[in-house]
Chains A and B, each alone.
Chain A
Amino acid sequence: KAGVTQTPRYLIKTRGQQVTLSCSPISGHRSVSWYQQTPGQGLQFLFEYFSETQRNKGNFPGRFSGRQFSNSRSEMNVSTLELGDSALYLCATSGGVVSGELFFGEGSRLTVL
């Protein structure tokens, strides 16, 4: 069974640009969550989607947005990039037998110069 796939794995952008990250969930998983991880703030929840609807949203500015498609694949977008957006962005999906068990991808490491 394939795991959670995130693309791209690494990317470098400059301030002011925008970026789109993609997450393909485990087959059958309908919940997709996004997290940002930085050395200073740790793992922080961005948003969660279920059946194409945003179910929860973390405390991030409107520059951070996401969406989920009918096949449960999800994308997140960050516009007007700032240096502080440099982070590991992790996608997690759920739908497994254990309620509350999240399966994480390996992340997309974004560097903003």
Chain B
Amino acid sequence: DAKTTQPTSMDCAEGRAANLPCNHSTISGNEYVYWYRQIHSQGPQYIIHGLKNNETNEMASLIITEDRKSSTLILPHATLRDTAVYYCIVRSSDSGYALNFGKGTSLLVTP
């Protein structure tokens, strides 16, 4: 699976959009981009995933560049409960569930 690069940490004011970038320049054509987050002392939680097109669900939006070498997770109106470590993961559909979580981005949402 392709390697990802994320900033170590980010801050965001409550109510503002949080934009979390991820670089995956070696991504292959059959690899998806997944985002998970882990709130302190809990197991990771799935957020969203995509292949080529932008995706949106009740939690977030995922914007993938046309060349698929990078993506951005957008939390449209961050709340204090969104403070967590966010992981960007690249995975092919036939690779099972051996996910490489990397170090992720620690997002701090401030009042």
A residues neighboring B (CB under 8 Å): 4, 31, 33, 35, 42-45, 48, 50, 55-56, 58, 90, 92, 94, 98-107
Contact = CB atoms under 8 A, between A and B. Distances in A.
29 contacts: A33-B97, A33-B98, A35-B101, A42-B101, A42-B103, A43-B38, A43-B87, A44-B101, A45-B98, A45-B100, A48-B96, A48-B97, A50-B96, A56-B96, A56-B98, A90-B44, A94-B97, A98-B46, A101-B49, A102-B44, A102-B46, A102-B99, A103-B46, A104-B42, A104-B44, A105-B43, A106-B42, A106-B43, A107-B43
Which label, helix, strand, loop or mixed, suits the secondary structure of the B interface?
loop
Nearest to A104: B43
A61 B84 CA distance: 31
A24 B46 CA distance: 19
A43 B44 contact: yes
A4 B99 CA distance: 18
Contacts of A33: 97-99
B97 A92 contact: yes
Contact of B101 (A43, A50, A100): A43
Nearest to A55: B96
Nearest to B38: A43
Contact of A98 (B45, B49, B91, B99): B49
